[in-house]
Chain A
Amino acid sequence: MSDPFTDIPDDGGSDVALAGELALGLLEGEALDEALELFNADPIFAALVAEWRLQLSVYDEEVVEARARPAVKAALEARLFGDERVPVWRRLWPWQLATGAAALAAVWFALAPVPPVTEPDAAAPVYVAELSAQDDSLRLVAAYDPAEDAIVIRRTEGQAQAGRALQLWGIAPDSLPVSIGVLPDDPDARFAVPADLADRVAGLTLAVSDEPPGGSPTGQPTGAVLAAAPLEGI
């Protein structure tokens, strides 16, 4: 790069000095506007500004670090990401108080892949439901996993009667039940959300019915509905 400024005149309006003044933030008004115009039009001038910035950064070592109050970070994140950015686990807390540790463990299982790779997206809605039979002989917790568009179930109490099966249904408002799947023997299960229920998770009611092995032959519940509960956003 040819440097027209090695031969320094008495202050003849040198671009070197102007670039330094811009980097220092000394320019105001018209002088600032002109310098910015030059900056945008002339890559050599722009490079000068960047060089000044780098050279002046030797002073940065003098800066004494200072800790901001924790509220500053909270306010910043609220400002950038909105108030909905409440961590999943904080949202789960009141829910856990109402439902107990087993339910929390189930939702953890639903939302945190093992090994946990990333924290569940804090902005995504979390839907959970706890289904229990009137006599508590059957209890399940369910959660919707938005990352996989799946419904995750953990059976915490009870099982299918001998020679029978438990089938999970999703019932959207004003709609017939849609089969989500037959619960396996394993207490934990994960089901893809059926196409008929796509985008209808909010407001969905889950239900478990008593069915023949392999599930209802008709596509609709044929046996007793043992437990039902709406998926609720938390």
Chain B
Amino acid sequence: MTDLERIEAMISRVALGDRAAFSDLYDATSAKLLGVCLRVLKDRSLAEDAMQDAYVKIWSHAGRYTSGVASPMTWLITIARNTAIDRARMRKPADNLADHDATLTATGPTPEQSTVAASLARRVTQCLAELQTDRAAAIRLAYLEGLSYADLAERFEVPLNTIRTWLRRGLMTLRACVER
């Protein structure tokens, strides 16, 4: 069983309310999830709080994880990332958490074979390298550090409209390249 399969198995046991599986899942994944939160929040104690919130959601939403729809790590990281970003922007949980959570059930590509996922990852990496430096950097910062458009505009010293145009064009170019 690969690591990802083990994590997937843990998530399905967590969905049944298995506390021991939850403990195992935490042990196997919390270092990564804390890293994700830390990248966004920069502060260890805030990041730990956000990670804890993320695991509360993981516990209650594990039943909504659909095996094969996304990598289990991607699913977990998405929850951690959304939670950290909401905290960074000081959104009230009632505002958006539930809605963000809803997007976690999206069905998309099914990269259950690691070769498919790996070749997609290679392709995306290649395409990001082909992207204009600024646009790639903006996408990367938005993803990894959870920067908002206002943050990005400040970082790149360009007007808000401009940064949004950059980023959206960057995304569309990236998409066209990946599909090429």
Within 8 A of B (CB), among A1-52: 3, 5-6, 8, 10-11, 14, 16-17, 20-22, 24-26, 28, 32, 36, 39-40, 43, 46-52
Residues on the A chain within 8 Å of B48, using CB: 68-69, 72
Interface residues on A, range: 35 or more
Contact, CB under 8 Å: B146 / A25? yes
Contact, CB under 8 Å: A22 / B139? no
Contact, CB under 8 Å: B168 / A68? no
Say if the beta carbon of B46 comes within 8 Å of chain A.
Answer: no
> Which residues of A line the B interface, CB within 8 A?
3, 5-6, 8, 10-11, 14, 16-17, 20-22, 24-26, 28, 32, 36, 39-40, 43, 46-60, 62-69, 72-73, 75-77, 79-81, 85, 118-119, 122
Other-chain residue from A14, A69, A76, A118 in contact with B26 (beta carbon distance below 8 A): A76
How far apart are B171's CB and chain A's nearest CB, in angstroms?
4
Residues on the B chain within 8 Å of A65, using CB: 31-32, 34-35
Interface of B (DSSP majority class): helix
Contact, CB under 8 Å: B169 / A47? no
CA distance A153 to B11 in the complex (A): 38
Contact, CB under 8 Å: A49 / B108? yes
Say if the beta carbon of B155 comes within 8 Å of chain A.
Answer: no
Say if the beta carbon of B10 comes within 8 Å of chain A.
Answer: no
CA distance A25 to B107 in the complex (A): 18
Interface of A (DSSP majority class): helix
Within 8 A of A (CB), among B3-32: 19-20, 22-23, 26, 30-32
Residues on the A chain within 8 Å of B30, using CB: 67-68, 72-73
Within 8 A of A (CB), among B46-79: 47-48, 51-52, 55-56, 59, 69-71, 73-74, 77-78
Contact, CB under 8 Å: A20 / B125? no
Other-chain residue from A17, A47, A57 in contact with B171 (beta carbon distance below 8 A): A17
CA distance A60 to B140 in the complex (A): 10
Q: List 12 A-B contacts (CB under 8 A).
A: A25-B81, A26-B149, A28-B149, A50-B107, A50-B109, A54-B120, A59-B144, A60-B74, A60-B77, A63-B32, A68-B31, A85-B19
Q: Which residue of B lies closest to A22 (CB)?
A: B103
How far apart are A147's CB and chain B's nearest CB, in angstroms?
15
How far apart are A29's CB and chain B's nearest CB, in angstroms?
10
In addition to A53-B78, A55-B120, A59-B144, 14 A-B residue pairs with Cβ atoms within 8 Å of each other are A5-B175, A17-B171, A20-B168, A24-B143, A26-B148, A28-B148, A36-B102, A50-B106, A50-B108, A67-B30, A67-B34, A76-B55, A79-B56, A80-B56
CA distance A50 to B109 in the complex (A): 7
Q: Which residue of A lies closest to B31 (CB)?
A: A65
How far apart are B123's CB and chain A's nearest CB, in angstroms?
9
Residues on the A chain within 8 Å of B34, using CB: 65-68
Residues on the A chain within 8 Å of B26, using CB: 73, 76
